[in-house]
Homo-oligomer: A and B are copies of this chain.
Amino acid sequence: MVDDDRHLRAVTDPGGGQADPAAELPAVDGRVPGRRGQATRRKLLDCTKEMLDQGSYRDLKVVDIARRAGTSPATFYQYFPDVEAAVLVLAEEVAVRATQLTELVDGEWKGRGGVDTARRLVRGFLDYWEDNRPVLRVVELATEEGDLRFRNLRVRSLNAVTRALSEVVGQFQRNASVPSEIDPMATAGVLVAMLAHTAAHRYGFEFWGIRRDALEASLSRTVYWTVTGQKQ
């Protein structure tokens, strides 16, 4: 109980390493690891990811990660307070890549080009999810379980796209194409929810014999209409 502030210290006491905000200052027990330490830390992270690619989050044990990394469980705890913490770092890395989605919203939405923009956005979402499925699965999961760390992460990564989309909706609203009583942010949020959930459950759709083309088409159509308020 006396040592209960270890994790806290790791967070509150940057130990002078705060200079580089990009490198998640990895906390051992308050110190910043050297070259060798960094390597093991990375190896542990990689192994965590590999395990996640294979089995479920629920069955992700520290022992297994350690074994796969060829170290002892104790070593794992040297770098992360628990499994969640390790996964959180992975999630952070994935969240950064979500910015690529925001860029897809920047494009022509008026007229025929709008359909293409919508389609590109849809493709981007499906691809992004495909590339990072295992980690995103956990983010979704942990968020739903009420974990604030993951929730904030999720909000941060989807916030940008949502705001961008909401912006576009707002334009078409001033245009009188979208009814004035509609809340642009709500609309954008709902669309993002649709994209995220569809992407997450894609293989569930294929189970019903629905191919990716058809999915893209339906999603694009709905996105385009909802955003622009216009028939394509």
Interface residue ranges, A against B (CB under 8 Å): 56-58, 137, 140-141, 143-147, 151, 155, 179, 181-183, 185-187, 189-191, 193-194, 196-198, 200-201, 204-205, 207-210, 214-215, 217-219, 221-222, 225-226, 229, 231
Contacts and interface: CB of A to CB of B under 8 A. Distances in A.
Given A182-B214, A187-B221, 20 more contacts: A56-B145, A56-B146, A57-B145, A143-B204, A144-B201, A155-B204, A183-B217, A183-B218, A186-B215, A189-B205, A189-B210, A190-B194, A190-B222, A193-B197, A193-B201, A194-B222, A197-B197, A218-B226, A221-B226, A231-B231
A144 B140 contact: yes
A181 to B, nearest CB: 7
Main secondary structure, interface of A, reads helix
Contacts of A185: 208-210
Nearest 4 pairs of A and B residues by beta carbon: A197-B197, A194-B194, A183-B214, A186-B214
A12 B199 CA distance: 37
A141 B145 contact: yes
Contacts of A208: 185, 189
Given A58-B58, A190-B198, A226-B222, A183 B210 contact: yes
Contacts of A222: 187, 190-191, 194, 222, 225-226
Contacts of A137: 144-145
Nearest to A210: B186
A204 B214 CA distance: 29
Nearest to A212: B186
Contacts of A58: 58, 145
14 contacts: A56-B145, A155-B207, A181-B217, A182-B214, A185-B210, A186-B205, A190-B198, A190-B218, A194-B194, A194-B198, A196-B197, A197-B197, A221-B226, A222-B222
